[in-house]
């Protein structure tokens, strides 16, 4: 997700402005000059200043031009969507782990990730079976993390 400095700068200005405003609305501690509002307001103002400077392109001379692999326009748009797969899978874990249980959920995550990265089925399927079991062993047995059993309780 390559955005121009104007866009990210503007986002920072808005964020800083909102933070400073919301901070200024925080209730003060009676009998004290500086309370919970001071720090967020300072940060918010700082963010606004930085955002303006970034949007104006000041300080860009320090940046190291990064060699970006050339990509076609079409594949680029698709690539943007692919970036959403890992966070989407994490949210899937949050929603499904308690109902399905750890092993099936983890197997789905590993399988989808491996296939998305271009693994053959011959690699992806065994990996999706073995990796969750090993991680379950390590975290449930050794570290005693209460991973949900769900539909597929494990024998240990």
Partner 1 sequence: MTEMLEAFRLVAAPDVPIAILASAIYGLVVGSLPGLSATMATALLVPVTFYLSPIAAVATIITASAMAIFSGDIPGCLLRIPGTPASAAYTNEAYAMTRKGQAELALGAGLWFSAIGGIVGTLSLVLMAPLLAEMALSFSTFEYFWLAFLGLMCATLVARSSPIKAIAAMLLGLLIACIGMENPAGTPRFTFGIPDLLGGVEIIPALVGAFAVSEVIRAMVTPEPPPIPRRKFGSILAGQWQLTKKYQLPMWRGNLIGIIIGVLPGAGADMAAWVSYAMAKKFSKEQEKFGTGHPEGLVEAGASNNASLASGWVPALLFGIPGDTITAIAIGVLYMKGLNPGPTLFTERADSMYALYIIFILANIIMIPLGIGMIRVATLVLRAPRSAVMPVILLLCAVGSFATGNNLFAVILVALFGCLGFVMERNGYPVAAMVLGIVMGAMVEQNFITSLIKSDGDVMPFIERPVSGVLAAMTFGALLWPAGVWVWRRFGGGRLPAAETPR
Least distance from C-beta 155 to partner 1, angstroms?
Answer: 19
**Token pair in block for residue 2:** 């390559």
Q: Which of 49, 43, 42, 67 has its CA nearest to residue 13?
A: 49
If the CB atoms of residues 69 and 73 are measured against partner 1, the closer one turns out to be 69
Least distance from C-beta 88 to partner 1, angstroms?
Answer: 8
Q: What is the spatial distance between Cα 106 and Cα 109, in angstroms, rounded to a whole number?
A: 5
Least distance from C-beta 130 to partner 1, angstroms?
Answer: 10
**Token pair in block for residue 115:** 């296939």
Least distance from C-beta 3 to partner 1, angstroms?
Answer: 6
Q: Within 13 Å, how many C-alpha atoms sit on residue 60's CB side? A: 13
If the CB atoms of residues 145 and 151 are measured against partner 1, the closer one turns out to be 145
* DSSP state string for 18-72: HHHHHHHTSPPPTT-SS-TTHHHHHHHHHHHHHHHHHHTTTTGGGSPPP-PPP--
Least distance from C-beta 128 to partner 1, angstroms?
Answer: 8
If the CB atoms of residues 71 and 151 are measured against partner 1, the closer one turns out to be 71
If the CB atoms of residues 77 and 151 are measured against partner 1, the closer one turns out to be 77
**Phi, then psi, of 88 in degrees rounded to 5:** -65, -40
If the CB atoms of residues 56 and 151 are measured against partner 1, the closer one turns out to be 56
């Amino acid at each position: 997700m390559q955005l121009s400095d104007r866009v990210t700068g503007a986002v920072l200005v808005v964020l800083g402005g909102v933070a400073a405003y919301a901070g200024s609305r925080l209730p003060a501690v009676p009998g004290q000059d500086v309370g919970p509002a001071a720090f967020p307001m300072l940060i918010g103002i700082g963010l606004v200043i930085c955002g303006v400077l970034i949007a104006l392109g000041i300080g860009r001379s320090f940046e190291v031009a990064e060699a970006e692999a050339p990509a076609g326009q079409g594949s680029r748009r698709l690539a943007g969507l692919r970036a959403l797969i890992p966070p989407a899978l994490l949210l899937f874990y949050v929603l499904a782990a308690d109902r399905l249980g750890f092993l099936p959920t983890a197997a789905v995550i590993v399988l989808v990730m491996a296939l998305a990265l271009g693994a053959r089925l011959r690699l992806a399927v065994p990996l999706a079976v073995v990796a969750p079991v090993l991680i379950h062993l390590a975290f449930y047995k050794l570290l005693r993390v209460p991973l949900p059993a769900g539909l597929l309780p494990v024998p240990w």
